[in-house]
Amino acid sequence: MRTVTNYFLVNLAFSDVSMAAFNTLINFIYAIHNEWYFGQHYCKFHNFFPITSVFASIYSMTAIAVDRYMAIIHPLKPRLSATATKVVIVSIWILAFVLAFPVCFYSKTRLFPGRTLCYIHWPRNKDSSMYHIILTVLVYLLPLGVMGITYTIVGITLWGGEIPGDTSDNYHEQLRAKRKVVKMMIIVVATFAICWLPYHIYFIMTGIYRDLNRWKYIQQVYLAILWLAMSSTMYNPIIYCCLNSRFRAGFKRAFRWCPFIEFSSYDELELRTTRFNPARQSSMYTVSRIESSTTVVFEPNEGDNPDCARKKSVTSRYTSINGCSGNSTKTSRSSSFYSTTNTSVEDYS
């Protein structure tokens, strides 16, 4: 289970759960009552943490996309180690803190007649729109662009790059598993993009056209947009549970104390197979190559009469493991495939 993808998935889950725990309910209460009840320190945290969490979420997805790209398109290149993966995750959070710091610094509470408000007091009016444009580029457009490019290349490779005539069960098993995880992550990314697009548009528009803030129904519009954006945190576990058999089995085991959740022997087998099957746990590069060649040899009959030459074909088949192969000097027509397992097959299921 301790794979590169799973490390980033855990980081993604942590950022989503943190957002739901610390901000969703508070945001909803503040939007409904239009009054801040939680003090100045939490006001700063309230404005600071959503940006941090969203940054960590979207760049965890980006890291997963790049990892899948490297595993599928460049399988022989070294993968990230566990230590390097943890360094990347820590770097993501540090960058998120830096990006969100201006919001924390300028957040204030102010007492108005009959109510208290939590707001961001920018030094200049144009600072708000500039910051949200930068935020939209760094936290939305740039990572979505990277993921769009990587998943497009991976999709073309997995769905359009099958080798005709290949009947290897191992090859097709890995191909199906890789397709499955790529489909799952594309759905996760698309869900995130749809949920957060109105949010970014809202802040850019209200920053540029400040008269929109005086519109009669702007509070209701903001509440709907905010609710859609915050709801993105609840979709990922549902997607994982529906599309990932290991996640589903692990979820059942974690919540088997619930009366309506049944943890079956099949689920236990699913988890044990992942844990104990050496073929699925190998982190070594295993490259298998199968080549089939047909050689046409003309052998003259007695008398060296070229018109009476008879033809025979010689077929050779050999296998090489871990990049070691024999040489064929008679090959005139060959077909080969490479199936590479540099992580667990279950990484892709």
Q: Residues 180-233: pLDDT tens digits?
A: 878 888 888 899 899 989 998 998 888 888 888 788 888 788 888 988 888 887
| Higher local confidence (pLDDT), 284 or 240 | 240
Inter-residue long-range contacts of 149-155, CB under 8 Å, 24+ positions, other chains counted? 150/65, 150/66, 150/68, 150/69, 151/65, 151/68, 151/69, 151/182, 151/185, 151/186, 151/189, 153/69, 153/73, 154/68, 154/69, 154/72, 154/73, 154/182, 155/182, 155/186
Q: Give the per-residue pLDDT at 105.
A: 95
C-alpha separations of 181 from 12, 239, 260, 323, 340 in Å: 15, 11, 28, 27, 17
Mean pLDDT value of segment 48-73: 90
| Higher local confidence (pLDDT), 284 or 301 | 301
273 lies in some domain: no
Q: Are residues 78 and 227 in the same domain?
A: yes
Q: Are residues 234 and 290 in the same domain?
A: no
pLDDT of residue 293 exceeding 60? no
Q: Are residues 132 and 24 in the same domain?
A: yes
98/120 Cα distance (integer angstroms): 17
Q: Give the per-residue pLDDT at 162.
A: 55
Is 157 within 8 Å of 72 (Cβ atoms)? yes
66 lies in some domain: yes
253 lies in some domain: no
Highest mean pLDDT among 76-90, 229-243, 282-296, 300-314: 76-90
Which of these, 195, 198, 175, 199, lies nearest to 187 by C-alpha position? 195
Q: Give the per-residue pLDDT at 312.
A: 44
38 lies in some domain: yes
Residue whose structure tokens are 């085991």? 253
Q: Are residues 43 and 191 in the same domain?
A: yes
330 lies in some domain: yes
How much is the mean pLDDT over the chain?
A: 75
State the pLDDT confidence band at 317, using cuts at 50, 70 and 90: very low
Please enumerate in sequence order all residues whose Cβ is within 8 A of that of 308, keeping only pairs 6 or more positions apart, or say none: 300, 301
Q: Are residues 136 and 34 in the same domain?
A: yes
257 lies in some domain: no
Highest mean pLDDT among 134-143, 176-185, 202-211, 278-287: 134-143
Mean pLDDT value of segment 265-284: 54
State the pLDDT confidence band at 343, using cuts at 50, 70 and 90: very low
pLDDT of residue 115 exceeding 80? yes
Bridge partners, 340 (sequence order): 287
Total domain count for the chain? 2
Q: Are residues 100 and 225 in the same domain?
A: yes
268 lies in some domain: no
Residue 126 carries which side chain, given as an amino acid letter?
A: K
| Higher local confidence (pLDDT), 164 or 186 | 186
The parent domain of residue 176 ranges over: 4-243
Residue 64 CB neighbour total at 10 angstroms: 25
> Encoding tokens for residue 122?
């920018």
Of 243, 264, 296, the domain-final residue: 243
The overall pTM is greater than 0.75: no
Q: Are residues 68 and 200 in the same domain?
A: yes
252 lies in some domain: no
Mean pLDDT value of segment 234-241: 80
Is 287 within 8 Å of 322 (Cβ atoms)? yes
Q: Are residues 301 and 235 in the same domain?
A: no
Q: Give the per-residue pLDDT at 137.
A: 93
Of 243, 266, 298, the domain-final residue: 243
Is 248 within 8 Å of 241 (Cβ atoms)? yes
| Higher local confidence (pLDDT), 40 or 292 | 40
Q: Are residues 39 and 153 in the same domain?
A: yes
Residue 291 CB neighbour total at 10 angstroms: 17
| Higher local confidence (pLDDT), 172 or 52 | 52
Mean pLDDT value of segment 241-254: 77
Q: Are residues 233 and 324 in the same domain?
A: no
State the pLDDT confidence band at 106, using cuts at 50, 70 and 90: very high
Of 211, 243, 275, the domain-final residue: 243
Q: Are residues 162 and 310 in the same domain?
A: no
The fraction of the chain above a pLDDT of 90, given in percent, is: 20
The enclosing domain of 213 has a CATH number of 1.20.1070.10
Classify the C-alpha dihedral 66-78-286-345 as positive or negative. Answer: negative
Q: Give the per-residue pLDDT at 273.
A: 62
Which phi and psi angles does 239 have, rounded to 5°?
Answer: -65, -45
Is 150 within 8 Å of 68 (Cβ atoms)? yes
Q: Give the per-residue pLDDT at 104.
A: 94
pLDDT of residue 155 exceeding 80? yes
| Higher local confidence (pLDDT), 91 or 238 | 91
Highest mean pLDDT among 140-149, 159-168, 260-269: 140-149
pLDDT of residue 121 exceeding 60? yes
pLDDT of residue 290 exceeding 80? no
Mean pLDDT value of segment 15-41: 86
207/86 Cα distance (integer angstroms): 37
Q: Are residues 231 and 324 in the same domain?
A: no
Least confident of 76-80, 216-220, 295-299: 295-299
